Amino acid sequence: MGPRSDHTVIIGSRELKKAETKAKEYRRELQERSIDADVHAQENETAAENASVVVVIIPSEHATSTVKSITPLLSDDQILVNPAVGMRQDTAGFHYDAPEAGSITEGIEKVASDRVPVIVAFQNLAAGALSDLDDDLKTDVILTGTRQQRNTRSKRWPRSAQPRGAIE
Ligand SMILES: NC(=O)c1ccc[n+]([C@@H]2O[C@H](COP(=O)([O-])OP(=O)(O)OC[C@H]3O[C@@H](n4cnc5c(N)ncnc54)[C@H](OP(=O)(O)O)[C@@H]3O)[C@@H](O)[C@H]2O)c1
């Protein structure tokens, strides 16, 4: 969300109070940068029903079960975005830890309705850089999904967040 953004951001949580605390914190941080943002809080289910783009920022091992719980609430004109990758850390560093479904996204696709596209995003951006509001990222967010999703569903993105370009 930049200074010229007109998006509404809904922070979801299993506990409304927790979401409210976070939303307040984010609003304060943005106000300190003279950004008057529409950021508010809802429980996960309400947030999922109300958002055009639902970003599943949940630890990878719980992402699929969380999507399963909100799937009945989602409608045809929404998009699910998954930033989660199955990673494991040991003394040698981070390693890819493939789940049974092949990837977290494939697991999510299995439980999500066929009507709701699942798009992968943010996996090329480090969390530290993403959350540093003073970091002018100067990079693209790579979106991946099936060819069918790209061809038939890109019209669902909010106009100001339309994807551009394509890698075959
Ligand atoms: N691309 C990137 O740079 C990047 C970087 C970091 C992380 N990620 C991905 O983003 C995801 C979230 O990472 P994070 O570090 O933000 O995780 P996190 O802080 O550990 O968890 C995010 C939220 O998930 C909810 N949650 C925790 N356990 C849950 C459960 N059992 N069931 C349902 N919800 C649960 C909690 O929200 P409530 O308690 O409020 O419900 C928590 O605040 C991960 O899957 C990770 O792979 C991507």
Kindly report the CATH number assigned to the domain that includes residue 103. 3.40.50.720
**Mean of all residue pLDDT scores within the chain:** 86
Task: Provide the domain count of the chain.
Answer: 2
CA of 149 to the centre of ligand 1 (A): 25
Domain assignment present for 152: yes
Whether residue 119 sits in one domain with residue 40 = no
Please give the residue that has the higher pLDDT: either 1 or 20.
20
Kindly state whether residues 37 and 81 are assigned to the same domain: no
Tell me which residues have their CB closer than 6 angstroms to ligand 1. Answer: 13-15, 18, 57-60, 62-63, 66, 83-85, 122-123, 125-127, 130
pLDDT at residue 32 tops 60: yes
> Rounded to the nearest whole angstrom, what is the distance from the C-alpha of residue 139 to the centroid of ligand 1?
23
pLDDT score for 139: 86
Q: Name the residue at shortest CA distance from atom 17 of ligand 1.
A: 59
Check residues 4 and 87 and name the one with the higher pLDDT: 87
Mutate to test the pocket of ligand 1, among 10, 14, 58 (most ligand atoms within 8 A of CB): 58
78: confidence class by pLDDT, cuts 50, 70, 90: very high
Share of the chain above pLDDT 70, in %: 83
Of the candidates 120, 117, 86, the one whose C-alpha atom is nearest the C-alpha of residue 100 is 86
For residue 160, the CA-to-ligand 1 centroid distance in Å is 26
Instruction: Using the predicted structure, report yes or no on whether residue 130 has a pLDDT greater than 90.
Output: no
Domain membership of residue 13 as a residue range? 1-44
Do 77 and 39 sit in the same domain of this protein? no
pLDDT of residue 168: 46
How much of the chain is in helix, strand and coil states, percent to nearest 5?
40, 20, 45
Question: Is the predicted pLDDT of residue 152 greater than 60, yes or no?
Answer: no
**Same domain assignment for residues 90 and 138:** yes
Q: Do 24 and 106 share a structural domain? A: no
Per-residue pLDDT, 158: 64
Atom 37 of ligand 1, residue of closest alpha carbon: 13
Q: Per the domain annotation, does 22 fall within a domain?
A: yes
Q: Residue 152 is which amino acid?
A: T
The predicted pLDDT at position 10 comes to 97
Confidence of residue 3 (pLDDT cuts 50, 70, 90): low
pLDDT of residue 163: 64
26 & 84 share domain: no
Distance of CA 70 to the CA centre of its chain: 14
| In a shared domain, residues 56 and 115 | yes
Same-domain status, 21 and 38: yes
Q: Which atom of ligand 1 is nearest to the CA of 18?
A: 40
Same-domain check for residues 71 and 103 = yes
**168 in a domain, yes or no?**
no
**Are 97 and 67 part of one and the same domain?**
yes
Proportion of the chain above pLDDT 90, given as a percent: 52
What per-residue confidence (pLDDT) applies to 149? 62
- Residue 123 and residue 66 in one domain: yes
Residue to probe by mutation, ligand 1, list 42, 57, 88, most atoms within 8 Å of CB: 57
- Tell whether 167 is covered by a domain: no
Assess if residue 100 is contained within a domain: yes
Q: Using CA positions, which residue lies closest to atom 20 of ligand 1? A: 59
Span 68-97, average pLDDT: 92
Helix boundaries (H) for the chain:
16-32, 44-50, 60-70, 104-111, 127-131, 147-153
Residues 89 and 124 in one domain: yes
